[in-house]
Amino acid sequence: MNMEKNKQSNSILAGKFILLGITGGIAAYKAAELCRLFIKAGASVRVIMTPAAKEFISPLTLQTLSKHQVYDDLFAGTKRYTVEHVELTKAADLFVVAPATANTISKIAGGIADNLLMTTMLAARCPVLLAPAMNTQMYQHPALLENLRKLRAWGYHQVGPAIGELACGDTGAGKMAPVEEIFAAAGRILRQNSSWQGLKVLITAGPTREAIDPIRFITNHSSGKMGYALAEAALERGASVTLVSGPTNLEPPRGADLIRVNTAQQMYEAVLEHFDDAHIVIKTAAVADYRPAVRQKEKIKKGESLTLELVPNPDILATLGKRKKQQILIGFAAETNNLEQNALRKLKQKNLDFIVANNVTQEGAGFNTDTNQVQIFFAGGDSKCLELMSKKELAGCLLQEVDLLLKERNTTGS
Ligand code: CTP
């Protein structure tokens, strides 16, 4: 069984650059075997040890196995390390921390950077796999469980812990997962991260702004968080991503081709320019349906009353629905009432593969939140109701649905 898992992992690990973080737990000695497995599978490994880890296993062992110097001290006498840890994260395909102690896990969740492993961790943009290892009581502490939950919601991967006899003599959950399992989990993550290689994903996010005069505009409460989370999730799968974004305060996802727009008309033009080449198109943007018929050149002065004439903006998604060829087309619907009826109408009218609908009046599902609770309606007639979750988790779930559609197409040849 383990051999089978290892065989599967081998091909994907060849040529990959793995950072192996070792923290101070009794399971640290097993990290040497993990390092050996990675090297044998063709990966290049750099080891970072915390000061406590060195009490459990000698850096020389890891240096010999990885054939590279071990990184273990933030202030190692030269400035080289402080720059090098950032360089290491740029090259890394995966950061594995095995064993990951309660202390290190909680420091990651708290953003603490007090040793080389932690500064590297905070700078890392590659996927991170944690293999927790600790005493059962420590593992069951609510602070630790909460920190692990928080890290998983942020996209950190976790393998184990296993249940078994611990070094302290207790039996329970807390034992580091077997190295073969950690190795297989690393392979799975790397495989998942390259599954969308070659796919072009076009995403729109955020609100649009429709100017009334040089000072005022019409807009809405969209934060762009859902679209940006989807862009990050698609990038993590290895896709090339074009993100057409209305004004937001968000950090651009690293690696995305970001096109900033203000108005619906600008979004329309940018989207149409990239649509024909795209394989997957996801329209999370909250596009203003109307714009002022005239944009006043000077500031409008206050008076008794003001009537604004509005004219309709183009419906970008409906236009894409008409032009659609091979693309998988996904829309969003933010509703306050008659959710199903409205979503189904938009699904059909805009010729979508599926639509993601949410009730913005519901707690945790509105604009500008970090969470969302949605229903998905598919062109084939199926529907799904998902639970309340972070937008990052939801992005993963939605891309899984796209994965299923891609697989369906591959098997039917359409
Ligand atoms: N959309 C679009 N262009 C528009 C309006 C909406 O591309 N001018 C897209 C949105 O990005 C979303 C979907 O259409 O993916 C549904 O948007 P929504 O605002 O919920 O619906 P509308 O079509 O505008 O209909 P209504 O305002 O009547 O709810």
DSSP conformation letters of 15-30? T-EEEEEE-SSGGGGG
CATH number, domain 2-192: 3.40.50.1950
* Alpha carbon of 154 to ligand 1 centroid (Å): 29
Nearest 5°: phi and psi at 353? -85, -40
CA 238 – ligand 1 centroid, Å: 29
Ligand 1 atom nearest 271 alpha carbon:
7
| Residues within 6 Å of ligand 1 by CB | 264, 283, 285, 287, 289, 313, 315-317, 331-334, 346
Torsion, Cα of 57, 59, 61, 63 (10° steps): 160
Q: What is the pLDDT of residue 288?
A: 97
Nearest atom, ligand 1, residue 349 CA: 23
Residue 126 is a catalytic residue: no
Give SS3 for 181.
helix
> Secondary structure of the chain: what % helix, strand, coil (to 5)?
40, 20, 40
Residue whose tokens read 């650059």: 17
DSSP one-letter code for 386: P
Q: Which atom of ligand 1 is nearest to 331's Cα? A: 15
CB distance 324 to 306 below 8 Å: no
Ligand 1 pocket test target in 221, 284, 346 with most atoms within 8 Å of CB = 346
CA–CA gap between residue 223 and residue 98 (Å, rounded): 37
For residue 9, the model assigns a pLDDT of 47
Show the tokens assigned to 5. Answer: 């898992």
Closest C-alpha residue for ligand 1 atom 12: 332
Q: How far is CA 147 from CA 11, 140, 364, in A?
A: 33, 11, 21
Is the separation of the CB atoms in 183 and 37 below 8 Å? yes
For the chain, residues classed under CATH 3.40.50.10300 are 200-296+304-412
Write out the residue limits of the CATH 3.40.50.1950 domain(s) in the chain. Answer: 2-192
Question: Residue 282 has what pLDDT?
Answer: 98
CATH of 200-296+304-412, one of 3.40.50.10300, 3.40.50.720, 3.80.10.10, 3.40.50.300: 3.40.50.10300
The rounded Å distance from CA 112 to ligand 1 centre is: 42
The residue nearest atom 20 of ligand 1, judged by CA position, is: 333
CA 143–ligand 1 middle distance (angstroms): 42
Chain-centroid distance, C-alpha 15: 23
Pick the catalytic residue from 126, 168, 385, 397.
168
pLDDT values of the chain reduced to their tens digit, one per residue, 414 residues: 344 444 444 568 888 999 999 999 999 999 999 999 999 999 999 999 999 999 999 999 999 999 999 998 766 554 555 566 777 888 899 999 999 999 999 999 999 999 999 999 999 988 999 999 999 999 999 999 999 999 998 889 999 999 988 777 778 889 999 999 999 999 999 988 888 989 999 999 999 999 999 999 999 999 999 999 999 999 988 899 999 999 999 999 888 999 999 999 999 999 999 999 999 999 999 999 999 999 999 999 999 899 999 999 999 999 999 999 999 999 999 999 999 999 999 999 999 999 999 998 888 887 878 899 999 999 999 999 999 988 988 999 999 999 999 988 877 766
Residue nearest to atom 9 of ligand 1 (CA): 317
- Report the separation in Å between the CA atom of 364 and the middle of ligand 1, taken as the mean of its atom positions: 21
Check: CB of residue 254 under 8 Å from CB of residue 235. Answer: yes
Ligand 1 atom 25: residue of nearest CA: 346
| The pLDDT of residue 120 | 93
Token pair of 175 as six digits: 């034992």
In contact, 232 and 253? CB cutoff 8 Å: yes
Compute and round to an integer the Cα radius of gyration of the chain: 25
Atom of ligand 1 nearest to the CA of 313: 8
Å from CA of 176 to ligand 1 middle: 49
Centre of ligand 1 from the C-alpha of residue 410, in Å? 30
Residue of the CA atom closest to atom 16 of ligand 1: 333
User: For residue 204, which atom of ligand 1 is closest to its CA?
Assistant: 11
Structure-token pair, residue 373: 């609770």
The per-residue DSSP string of 184-207 comes to HHHHHHHHHHTTTTT-EEEEEESB
- Residue having the nearest C-alpha atom to atom 17 of ligand 1: 333
